[in-house]
Amino acid sequence: MKEVLLPVRTWSEPNVRVHWAKRARRAKKQREAARLLVRVAHAPPPPGNITVRLTRIAPRQLDTDNLAAALKAVRDGVADALGMDDGDTRLTWLYGQRRGEPNEYAVMVEIE
């Protein structure tokens, strides 16, 4: 198993009321961070099925549909680093979350 801790803050995107350009910049930064850190930390994955677990770390919990939406840009970045489309049938995506300390925000990426 390979692990990478991404120091990014994720938001419940469907519930955030901001200008579309600000939302797009935030998603671009999250996607780039995930792509770069996963690519630097690990060699290309072996062929076959891959399971990726994304665990959001934040002071407050989200419900499951908002959790998936909050991690969408990170998911896209991890898929970019793996050289695959995030909808590829060889990829299985699992989502989780754990409570962090006040002002502690990150995403743990586990690839197996």
- pLDDT by residue (tens digit) across 26-41? 899 999 999 998 888 7
State the Cα–Cα distance between residues 86 and 26, nearest whole angstrom: 19
- Res 14: pLDDT: 75
* Average pLDDT for the chain: 90
Q: How many domains does the chain have?
A: 1
Q: Is the pLDDT of residue 69 over 90?
A: yes
| CATH number, position 12 | 3.30.1330.70
Burial string for 68-102 (b: 16+ CB within 10 Å, else e) reads: ebbbbbbbbbbbbbbeeeeeeeebebebebeeeee
Per-residue pLDDT, 33: 92
Which structural domain range is residue 24 located in?
A: 2-111
pLDDT in tens, 11-65: 887 777 788 898 899 899 999 999 998 888 776 666 789 999 999 999 999 999 9
| Per-residue pLDDT, 23 | 87
Burial tier of 31 (Cβ tally within 10 Å: 0-12, 13-18, 19+) = buried
